[in-house]
Amino acid sequence: MPIHVTSEIGKLKQALLYRPGIETQNYPEGHFGQVFSLRPSSSLFDLDRALAECNAYTSVLEHEGVEVLYLDQLLTEALDSCPEARASFVDSFVDECGAIGTELQQAVREHLEHTRSAQELVSASIGGIRHGQVTYCFDGGDRLAELTGEAYAPDELLVSPLNTMWFVRDPVSTIGSGISFNHMYWPERNREVALYQTIFKYHPNFKDTPSFYRHDSTFHIEGGDIINLDAHNVAVGISQRTESAAIDMLARTLLWNPDSSIDAVWAIEVPERSLCIHLDTYLSRVDYDTFVVDPQLLAESRSYQITRNRAENLCQIHAVEKGVKEALAAALGIPELRFIPCGGSNPNLAEKECTNNAASVLCLRPGKVCVYEENQATNAALEQAGIDLVPISIHELTNGFGGPNCLCLPLRRDE
């Protein structure tokens, strides 16, 4: 069944998730920071707790009637669909794996090509590769590197495990009936995009999905900055992770591609805060006329409307004088929108709960949202506004870098 996501509030029907696994434990002793660079204050990943959080999150979705698909399972099915899929995936993965030079890249390639099944290939790609697992072209006989102590240690990682996989919303974005293959800010996360490219090119259920952004673009863009407003309008954050030039490229495709129904792209500047890095950590729509929002976004951010120029394949840009409120009202055609501030009526809690991603919620259907249970003041304000809440704790999964919205890639929503 094809992708269909024209807003962030339509009843969620189908979603893509990833369950953390053994890859979270695959690192040499004392090298936790090497493979979990986003957790500088931690020294371990509690897999049991993360799986319990993931199970609870999945139960919330399934209770709402959402069909949950898993990334690794879809990738395995895509790789099994035809021989070309496997070869294409290995090529893409080797290009993005971080191994530099002919010898190291060839060792990675041979290791992946010698896996016996698609499932084994998926596990090898996600789980990381150590030097002791591969064979080099210079192996055999006496080696000067071994005599001088410069040979690679067998336990040392050649390719790090993919330990941000459960943030499924960032590498790709669903927009209408198509997808954006994003160019990630951190190079190691670009390997994740290769998994999605294989799925949406080869999986029998998704192989005809139109593409609206090229992963090999020069410019960075991440999915947390892309918010579907309705069938004809999409908001994109100008942030630490998404460049203005990337929005230019995306807008031109969305506005002129016949597979897209978008008539306007609304670019919104995202403030800089250490843990809040995408537009969806500052703003989420929770009902037809209601948003939960970081007050800083409303107070400081400039907005721009990008539409078609009269000349084909060109765009025109207009600054929105009154900022985010005016931009969203114009995009949705709703003059009087409600904005519920993080922290509710308590400004002293606004900064704390904003930093704890109180604005990053997942809308299950209009007026019903999954929220981070620790943000009590914001949640109370949402309830007072008539929003039905499903609170959940996902601290081990997100470690402060996102909320329920970040762990789910919607594939189908009702209008």
The pLDDT assigned to 402 comes to: 84
The pLDDT assigned to 44 comes to: 87
Instruction: Tell me the average pLDDT of the chain.
Output: 93
Other beta carbons within 10 angstroms of residue 311's beta carbon come to: 8
The pLDDT assigned to 32 comes to: 87
Query: Do 1 and 205 form a contact (C-beta atoms < 8 A)?
Result: yes
> For residue 213, what are the β-bridge partners?
180
- The residue ranges of DSSP E strands in 332-386, in sequence order, are 338-341, 362-365, 368-372
Query: What does the pLDDT average to over 150-163?
Result: 89
Query: Do 1 and 410 form a contact (C-beta atoms < 8 A)?
Result: no
Sequence letter at residue 230: D
Task: State how far the Cα of 385 lies from the Cα of 35, in Å rounded to an integer.
Answer: 42
Burial 263-279 (b: 16+ CB within 10 A, else e): ebbbbbbbeeeeebbbb
With 0-12 / 13-18 / 19 or more C-beta atoms within 10 angstroms meaning exposed / middle / buried, residue 76 is: buried
What's the half-sphere exposure (Cβ side, CA atoms, 13 Å) at 13? Answer: 13
Query: What does the pLDDT average to over 83-103?
Result: 93
Residues serving a catalytic function are: 406
Q: Furthest-apart CA pair in the chain: how many Å?
A: 77
For residue 87, give every residue at least 6 positions away whose Cβ sits within 8 Å of its Cβ, in sequence order, or none.
none
Nearest to 237 by CA among 251, 252, 222: 222
Burial 214-252 (b: 16+ CB within 10 A, else e): ebebebbbbbbbbbbbbbebbbbbbbbbbbeebbebbbb
The pLDDT assigned to 216 comes to: 93
The pLDDT assigned to 125 comes to: 95
Edge-to-edge order in the sheet of strand 368-372:
362-365, 368-372, 388-392
Identify the band that residue 324 occupies on the pLDDT scale cut at 50, 70 and 90. Answer: very high
What tens digit of pLDDT does each residue of 246-271 get?
999 999 999 999 999 999 999 999 99
Is the pLDDT score of 274 beyond 80? no
Q: pTM for the complete prediction? A: 0.94
Task: State how far the Cα of 385 lies from the Cα of 91, in Å rounded to an integer.
Answer: 51
What tens digit of pLDDT does each residue of 330-385 get?
999 999 999 999 998 888 888 888 888 899 999 999 999 999 999 999 999 999 99
SS3 assignment, position 230: strand
Out of 69-83, 183-197, 390-404, which region has the weakest mean confidence (pLDDT)? 390-404
Between 78 and 208, whose confidence is greater? Answer: 78
Q: CA 24, 39, 167, 160: dihedral to nearest 10 degrees? A: -50
Sequence letter at residue 207: K
Query: Do 240 and 274 form a contact (C-beta atoms < 8 A)?
Result: no
Task: State how far the Cα of 167 lies from the Cα of 160, in Å rounded to an integer.
Answer: 17
Query: Do 204 and 171 form a contact (C-beta atoms < 8 A)?
Result: no
Task: State how far the Cα of 244 lies from the Cα of 116, in Å rounded to an integer.
Answer: 44
**Angle between the N-to-C axes of helices 102-113 and 83-96, in degrees from 0 to 180, rounded to the nearest 10:** 150
Q: Percentage helix, strand, coil, to 5, in the chain?
A: 35, 20, 40
Percent of the chain surpassing pLDDT 90: 78
CA angle 181, 182, 187 (to 5 degrees): 125
User: Cα-flanking dihedrals φ and ψ of residue 391, to 5°?
Assistant: -80, 145
